[in-house]
Amino acid sequence: MTIDLHNWTSADREALMTLCNAVDRTFLSDRLPYPYTEADADLWLGMVAENDGKEGVWRAIVADGQIVGSISVERMAEKQRNSGSIGYMILTPFWSQGIGTEAVRQICEVSFRELALERIVGEVFPENLASARVLEKNGFRLEETKVGAIVKGGKAMDVRVYGQAFG
């Protein structure tokens, strides 16, 4: 299987909407709208076009020519501008095939280079063992557990923070 990351473009609007409406949301942030509409896609694709390579790196995950997920590293706020936050989602039928591990490897390489970051962090719900393993396979180490740090579905949840320094 060939796994590539490609820049999101306005031509990907339908694929983005399909992805965002079909993805398993169990371990995703509540900031992803549902249902994901054309207006949501247009707004997000415009933000990506304006900020890619400056405030973050946003890519489609492509497996054998098909968009199967999305991955990004976004520059963190003010005091932590030398750090980025990684996030990714992959359609359920494509889980456990090494796609996430390879996509994380590729996006970290691009992000360190294009954004001149010193480190990347990923936040994972404790129950999301597969995502934690993807980060660990890419050299991320568990740094801390934040108790009740994220609200999802109206409920405070713990999050594990993984980090990776450049080099």
Q: Which domains does the chain have, with CATH numbers?
A: 3-118 (3.40.630.30)
Residue 47 DSSP label: H
pLDDT value at 78 more than 90: no
SS3 97: coil
pTM across the whole model: 0.95
CB atoms within 10 A of CB 138: 22
Which residues neighbour 13 within 8 Å (Cβ) at sequence distance 6 or greater? 38, 41, 42, 45
pLDDT average, residue stretch 107-131? 96
Residue 68 pLDDT greater than 70, yes or no: yes
How far from 67 is each of 76, 90, 156, 159, CA to CA, in Å?
26, 9, 32, 28
Dihedral angle sign, alpha carbons of residues 28, 112, 68, 138: negative
Residues above pLDDT 90, as percent of the chain? 92
Average pLDDT for residues 107-114, to the nearest whole number? 96
pLDDT at 167 (0 to 100): 61
Higher pLDDT, 31 or 20: 20
Mean pLDDT computed over 110-133: 96
Q: 107, 57 in Cβ contact below 8 A?
A: yes
What is the average per-residue pLDDT within 21-31?
94
Query: Of 55 and 29, which is predicted with more confidence?
Result: 55
User: Do 142 and 160 form a contact (C-beta atoms < 8 A)?
Assistant: yes
Mean pLDDT of 129-146: 98
> 6 pLDDT band (50/70/90 cuts)?
very high
Contact between 86 and 107 (Cβ < 8 Å): yes
Angle between helix axes 38-51 and 13-22 (nearest 10 degrees) is 110
